């Protein structure tokens, strides 16, 4: 996977952060800027993975971080990363469902989720949880994949929800959408990575698991119609 990602992403790859998602450094800087974090704020990172991306964004604003992920191994790796980078005092990582965390309402000044909404079968519930966690006026920045138009039976994915547009789900939950932008070059990078994964499918499956090969097969067959998007919003006041 390191070889695949380095070949596709080159200098944009977030190698220092241990990230394996579909955004690069320019996108991550944009996410940090859109969240408008201030000293002392609390940032929640839903589906935080191994923690590197959330830790970097929190550092930019001098904020504390709460990372949530359903993978015990991911949370353990995130804690180790926080210790290595001397950020353990301002970061905590908890195991949990991104649609139903154990955090208190309005406990986040800002919230981020990078390339995770598309892997849940409960996207509307996650949007409700995002709104519940954000204080009024708090900002959210999400990158995900939307799939415009009617979805054919062939385009359905097991244990995932293929959604044409995430904006109505966020708005129904109480999030005012401020920006919705397609990340054109990242879409191209993802398709290149999927083709590279399929060219070495046996090695990838042995290391990462067969799920990534299945995702790559779906992406090559149907991903051209998908949109990789950045969504920025704020919790409605009142």
Q: Where are the domains of the chain?
A: 25-189+227-235
pLDDT at 135: 97
Assigned CATH for 25-189+227-235: 3.40.50.150
Structure tokens at 147: 């799939």
**Cα angle 42, 55, 63; round to 5:** 30
Amino acid 214: pLDDT: 87
10-residue averages of pLDDT along the chain (238 residues): 69 68 84 95 95 93 95 92 89 95 97 92 96 98 92 82 94 98 79 86 84 86 88 93
The confidence score (pLDDT) of residue 19 equals 64
- Confidence (pLDDT) at 196: 85
Strands 227-235 and 64-69: unpaired
Structural tokens at position 186: 């990242």
Q: Helices then strands (H, E): number in the chain?
A: 9, 7
* Cβ atoms of 6 and 16 closer than 8 Å: no
């Amino acid at each position: 996977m390191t070889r695949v990602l380095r070949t596709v992403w080159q200098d944009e790859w977030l190698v220092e952060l241990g990230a394996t998602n579909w955004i690069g450094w320019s996108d991550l800087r944009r996410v940090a800027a859109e969240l408008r974090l201030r000293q002392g704020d609390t940032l929640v990172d839903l589906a935080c993975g191994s923690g590197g991306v959330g830790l970097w964004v929190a550092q930019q604003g001098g904020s504390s971080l709460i990372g949530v992920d359903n993978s015990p191994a991911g949370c353990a790796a995130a804690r180790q990363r926080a210790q290595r980078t001397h950020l353990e005092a301002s970061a905590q990582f908890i195991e949990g469902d991104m649609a139903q965390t154990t955090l208190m309402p309005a406990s986040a000044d800002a919230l981020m989720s990078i390339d995770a909404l598309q892997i849940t079968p409960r996207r509307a519930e996650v949007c409700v949880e995002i709104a519940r966690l954000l204080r009024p006026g708090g900002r959210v920045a999400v990158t995900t994949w939307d799939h415009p138009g009617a979805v054919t039976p062939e385009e359905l994915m097991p244990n995932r929800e293929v959604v044409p547009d995430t904006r109505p789900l966020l708005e129904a939950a109480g999030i005012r959408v401020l920006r919705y932008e397609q990340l054109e070059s990242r879409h191209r990078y993802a398709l290149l990575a999927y083709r590279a994964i399929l060219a070495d499918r046996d090695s990838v499956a042995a290391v990462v698991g067969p799920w990534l090969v299945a995702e790559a097969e779906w992406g090559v067959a149907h991903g051209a119609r998908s949109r990789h998007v950045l969504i920025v919003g704020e919790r409605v006041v009142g």
